[in-house]
Structure formats: structure tokens, C-alpha cells
Amino acid sequence: MVQKNKLVYISLAVIVLYLLPFLFLWQNSPILVHDTLEAWFPNVKVLSETETTFSSLDATIPSVMNGLPRNVLVSEFNFFVWGQTIFDLFTLYIVNLALMHVIAFVGMYFLLKVHFLKDPKHHAIAVGAALCFALLPFNPFRVLGIAAMPLVLYAFLNLKNKSATKKDWVIILLYPFFSSFFHVGIFFLSILGLLWLYDFYKTKKPNWFFLAALFLLGAISFVTEYRVLFTMFLDSSFQSHRLEFGSYPTDLVRVLGRSARTFIFGQYHAASLHYIFVFFATAAALVISLRKKILPSNLLKILVLIIAISVFAEAITGWAALEPLKAQFSILKTFNFARFTGFFPILWGLAFALSLKIIFENQKHGKQIAFFLIILQVAFLFSYTDSLVQTGGFGMLLSQEPGYAEFYSEPLFNEIDLFISQPKESYRVVSIGLVPAIAQFNGFYVLDSYQPNYSLEYKHSFRKVIEAELEKSPSLKRYFDGWGSRAYIFPAELEGNRACTKGTCQSIKNLELNTIVLKEMGVKYVFSAVEIENAEDNGFELLKVFERSDSPWKIWLYQIQ
């Protein structure tokens, strides 16, 4: 028992080591720009600053897009929102990171120990596989949605086996408050529902406690997301820009090719990082099973589910045969069913553990091979870095992502605010060559923003501003018209670059914006990270250039005449 506990404590120490750079660097920590600094931070912050967190269902946020409906942002029941009453925003982010990785370990450990690797001789594999799962770069803005999946599945399997206690009901009760229903929860609920049906089919007896837990999870999830549900189903005055989401249909052969790629490499929003050592372990286990004439039923079921999700995710988004169906049912366009890939981390984590068990039991020196694969996977996760996922460990130290403090550069934008010296609510700004989230985070009223859900009418109005620039670039035109969640000023000469730090981008020679529409929408100032050589042609007057040694940005402040 002492030896078993020692392995758990060592694993928790490894997790602390993985997160340690955040504690040392604090606000200088490199934080993921994609979705996180670019959207999640400013959108959560603006709720607090505009005091709209608990506003009525018809409330708007005046500082974003000339009145962004409050309901399209995360509800007050989400941990990242109500957590601001306890912590400042950055501390809350670090607390969330710590919770994600620790709960991921605890949940996977108990799931494996109780339901998949019950034999005490497999305890070390359960601990090692749980550690590998816990070190995955979970998407921060999905809170505990993916990281806590093993813990929730553990609770449901306890209900299935009629061994549940009060703690299992508490886990199910709390999960929606620490998750994102439309990014994770609704898909998790679907899979759990299929699990109940499968159990019913096998036993011919309905498990009423399991079903009651499903309804409880669904009901609480609906309550926590009541704002979005109201907007989707009851607010007839709101039409989402998501109605114009485009797809680029292709034939079945290419869909299957993309499915194979998804199966092998996964999806960055739910990075499973299985494509080297986990994949090798799984392949080795299948070969061993074939050679030893073993039927690894649980492993095969998991792999079949992964393949099914891979094919479904690519087919629903890109198969030409489904286009008529999408035209008839708008939800197939507005809802991202490809988010079923959010199950990849837990599924590949289970596949890894079961594969290690087969290697451990059936291969010469299997114990040593299994432990060596765990060590290799841990080392890989510690050193991994990517611009699309938030990592810790040594990979964080190698990251090219900007630090939290330097990205938002509050001292620099305070200088701009003092120079303008007008109430921020009296004018609007747009940004060029840098994400509008920076201006939004610093309290400016922004016309441009990154929003996963906003008014279709607003998208059409904003498009008039950038129409000439879109016509210069077919790729940017397709990007905005077929998606449009980033309602940005897209100069064709920058080729979509929205991170023009000092000296990284050339000046813009021929910018063509509809200044008349900009003025009609209330814009008075332009924050540009590059010089606009034909500023006068657009009715822009350069007021001043701002830069500081502690900021990566050099800002040309233009006023619209």
C-alpha cells in the first residue's frame, strides 16, 4: 500500500513540476493566443467591467460590436464567470489550469483502477496512464469539460454497476458548472445516453439510477446555459451569423482521407497527442493479441468508437452528399458536430492503458516495455509545444506565444487612453494588424471582435467596411463570408496577419476601407500595428505613434476625419 501511494504522490509531484513555470513567470507566462487571449479573456472580463454578468435576457454589452447581446456570452453559472468574485482573472486562469490537470489525473486513476485495471498488479499502469492523461494540453476555455470526463464517467459506471455513493451524485451535480455544455457537455451526454442504451440492450433491464443521473446532468446543463438556449429557441428577433457558416463539400474518398488524418493526429481543440507512443503501444497490443489469439474486446470497442467519431466529424462538415440535408436543417450548419472529437483524449487515454496491460501481461520484458512507454509519453508531453494548444512543462519555456502581460500591454494602452482623453463610451475603435481583443481587454469600445455567436445583421453591416479588401483576397473573402466569427479589419496586404509585433510586418501601401460606414457605426480612432501609407485616402489622420520597451506592439493612432 505504501508503494502504491508513493507512485500517486510522485505523479502529483510531476504535475506540479509541469505547472511550476506558470508560478515563476506568472503574468509573463506564455499564454495561448488562439481562442484564449484572443477571445476568452476579454469576453469574460467585459462581463465584469460592464456589470452585465447577471443582466436580464434582453441586455446588451455596449462596449462590444455596438451592443453585443449578453446572452451569446458564457452564462453566470460558468466557473470562469462566477470565479471572478473570488480571484482576479489571471489567478482564476491559473487555478483553472491546476484544477484541470489534478482532476484529470484523479479521475483517470479511479476510472482505471475501479473499472478497467482492477487487478492490483496493474496499479502502476493505472497511475502511469492517468499521469499521461493529466499532462495533456487541455483547452483552457472549456474549463474542466474534457479534463473531468474520466471522473464523470467513473461516477456513471458506478451507477451502472450499482455501486454508486453520494460522491458520485455530487460529481454529476457539479460537472455542468465547470464545463461548457455546447463545446463538450452535450456530446458527452449523447455518448452516456448511448452507453445506457447499450447496457439496456445487454441486460434487458433499464438502469433507472443511471437514467435519472442522465436527466439530472442534462437538466442542470440546460439551466447553466439558459441564456444561449433562450437565444436559440425563444428569441425570434436574433439571427446568428452562424446561419451563413459555409462548408467546402467534397467526395467520400477525400472525406475518408480526412477521417484517417483525424484518427491519427486528432483535433487541436481536444489534443490527445497519441500519434507517437500511444499509437505505437496500441498497434503493438493489437499485434500481440493477434499472435496470442487474445480478444481485447474493450480496446477494440474504444478503437471502433474513435474511428466512428473520426468519420462522423469529417462527414458532417465536408461530405457533399449531406449538403441538401444541411440546406433543409439549419442546425446542421450552425452546430459544430465535429466537437465529438472532444472524446479523443479520454478514449486514447483508455486505449493506452489497456494496450499497456496487454503488453505487460503477454510480452517478454512486458513490464519494462510498458513503463518505458509511459516515461517516453511523459517526456513527450513535457517537451511538446504548439501555437494552437496551451502547454506547460519544458514545452512552455520553448513556446513562442506572448506573455499575458505583454500581449495586453496595459501600460501602453493606458498612454493611448490618456492621450485621447475622452470618455471611452463616447467613441468606437477598430484595430489593424493586432487582434481587437487587446483594445477590448483594455476597456475600449470596439467595433471589431472575435465572437462565436453574434448578429447576422451586424456581420453584413461590418462587411461593408472591409468589402474592398476582401475582394483583393479570395482566401480572406471565403474566410469571412463562410465563417465570420472574427469580424476583423482584414487588409489584404497583411494576408490575415493579426499579430504584427514590432518590425514583423511591412507598412500597408493601399488600404481601402469604407470610411463612411465606419463613421456611421461610431468609429473615431484606428489602432494600427503598422503604418498606413495611404492613410489620407481613407480619411485617416495620424495623431501619434506609441511604443514602450515592455510591449511588443508599436501603435499608430489614427483619427477618422
Do 238 and 263 fall within a single domain? yes
Note whether residue 225 is domain-resident. yes
Phi, psi of 455 (to 5 degrees): -70, 135
| pLDDT single digits (tens) 269-293 | 889 999 999 999 999 999 999 999 9
At 404, the pLDDT band (50, 70, 90 cuts) reads: very high
Contacts of 218 (CB under 8 A, 6+ apart): 189
Residue indicated by cell numbers 452564462: 75
| pLDDT single digits (tens) 32-42 | 898 899 999 99
Do 198 and 226 fall within a single domain? yes
Contacts of 375 (CB under 8 A, 6+ apart): none
Note whether residue 476 is domain-resident. yes
Do 206 and 255 fall within a single domain? yes
Q: Which residues in 370-457 belong to E strands, given as ranges?
A: 428-432, 449-450
Do 423 and 510 fall within a single domain? yes
Whether pLDDT at 333 is above 80: no
Do 437 and 291 fall within a single domain? no
| pLDDT single digits (tens) 141-173 | 778 899 999 999 999 999 999 999 999 999 999
Note whether residue 56 is domain-resident. no
Note whether residue 44 is domain-resident. no
Do 354 and 480 fall within a single domain? no
Do 168 and 23 fall within a single domain? yes
> Which residue among 366, 398, 430 closes a domain?
398
Q: How far apart are CA 41 and CA 410, in angstroms?
A: 14
> Which residue among 377, 398, 419 closes a domain?
398
At 334, the pLDDT band (50, 70, 90 cuts) reads: low
Q: How far apart are CA 237 and CA 104, in angstroms?
A: 41
H/E stretch holding 524: strand 523-528
Do 167 and 132 fall within a single domain? yes
In terms of pLDDT, which residue wins out, 249 or 531?
531
H/E stretch holding 559: strand 554-560
Note whether residue 339 is domain-resident. yes
Whether pLDDT at 410 is above 80: yes
Whether pLDDT at 525 is above 90: yes
Determine the average pLDDT of the residues in 21-33.
91
Residue indicated by cell numbers 475622452: 422
Whether pLDDT at 493 is above 90: yes
Sign of CA dihedral 485, 35, 33, 413: positive
Do 363 and 329 fall within a single domain? yes
Note whether residue 551 is domain-resident. yes
Domains: count for the chain: 2
Do 241 and 302 fall within a single domain? yes
Residue range of the domain that includes 458: 409-560
Do 390 and 519 fall within a single domain? no
> Which residue among 398, 428, 446 closes a domain?
398
Note whether residue 62 is domain-resident. no
| pLDDT single digits (tens) 199-226 | 999 899 999 999 999 999 999 999 999 9
At 2, the pLDDT band (50, 70, 90 cuts) reads: low
Do 473 and 507 fall within a single domain? yes
Note whether residue 141 is domain-resident. yes
